[in-house]
Amino acid sequence: MMTWCKGARTACVAAMVLSLWPGLAQASNPGDPYAAGPHPAGPVQEGFYSVAPAELPGRAGTLIRAEPVAPPPGASVAYRIIYRSRSDAGRPVAVSGVIAAGPQESRAPRPVVSWGHGTTGIAPGCAPSLMPQHDFRSISGLQQLLADGYVVVATDYQGLGEGSVHPYLDGRSAAHAMIDAVRAARALPGLHAGSRYATWGFSEGGQASLFAGQVARSYAPELRLEGVAAVSAPTQLRRLLASDIGTPAGDVVASFAAWSWSRSYGLPLGEVVRPEAVPTVARIATLCSIGLPERLALGLAALTYGQTGFLQPGAAHRADWGRVIAMNSAQPRRGVPVFLAQGEGDALVAPAATRDFARQLCRDGVKLDYREVPFASHGDAATASASAATDWLAARLSGARPISDCATLAARERSR
């Protein structure tokens, strides 16, 4: 397993992590106080994130607390927030995140764009909002969204920041968190956040964005979802896990999923993970993927599976685990237009799987704008598609009629 890394493990894993997360190779701003040092992992000690059980009951999307943070470029105000949301089973939970908005000349309601971040880890200390300026920098197209006059919200998802473990790739809980962040923004005075919104996400956040399109009508009928945008989104989880296990990145993703699902859904970890591999899974579960040192640590930890093995024989056929995989594979509904972008050089989410998903959306009558980014890796696709995505979001939020790309997609497929 992973013999291609022998003899140059660190260089090999470094190349892998640089290709999987957007913007990692870009130099940090030396004047940014949030850029110094590694991102924390494990329990969060900050009082802001401590939510008492008595604070949880209440309507989903209501604010528990908010505090100002330094605005990113293009914004006049920014906040870190804690708000109420719901788990996939409807249990009250507290979720953290950030909000940014530019100056506004009128009091007219402003549309909201809800951003879903890519994988940062599953430990509470992996919450992006712990480092707000890093969080803002990770939002693809943020400055354009602010310039267009939108309120931008970015959830941490359930379990990151506040909680014990993040329900990783749990589409419904992440969708609830994205939608409830919009509700929370509307409660902040002076933002004038309206009821019209769109979702936009990368990787894990792309899956969350697609699930928002699936649940929005029933979960938040008082809001109006105008469109769903996703890049590098894992749409077919069984296919993703089957094809990626055996690579450092794939083994990290599978480790996050196995540890998280064993706790979120009560599934026995030993059913799918070899006993010798459990310590490595537990180690990976404590690590974040925000900075280069942490990502290298994740990749190197995953290489341990080369000696111990990882999954039990027949793990792919465990019924309960298969049910969780199936329920977290997105099925967006007709009526909400979708922007879908995929890097042709993505080594984590197979372009063929995304094409199959795009074809399924077309068969289901979804108004789809589908883009493939030449040569782009998993992480690079987020940056490369940001301009097209923000233009598409602006069209949806301005009320322009969506145009389907399905005929072009079908013609392109016939010519392959």
- Asked whether the beta carbons of 342 and 382 are under 8 A apart, the reply is no
CA atoms lying within 13 Å on the CB side of residue 68: 8
pLDDT of 310-352, one tens digit each? Answer: 999 988 789 999 999 999 999 878 889 999 999 999 999 999 9
Evaluate if pTM is beyond 0.85: yes
Note whether 167 and 173 are within 8 A (CB). yes
Q: What is the mean pLDDT of the chain?
A: 89
Query: How do strand 77-86 and strand 63-68 relate by DSSP bridges?
Result: antiparallel
The residue written with tokens 């007709």 in the block is 334
Low-confidence ranges of the chain (pLDDT < 70): 1-46, 415-416
- Collect all residues with Cβ–Cβ distance below 8 Å to 374 and sequence separation of at least 6: 344
Write down the pLDDT at residue 3: 35
- What the chain holds in terms of domains, given with CATH numbers, is 3-21+237-325 (no CATH), 47-236+333-415 (3.40.50.1820)
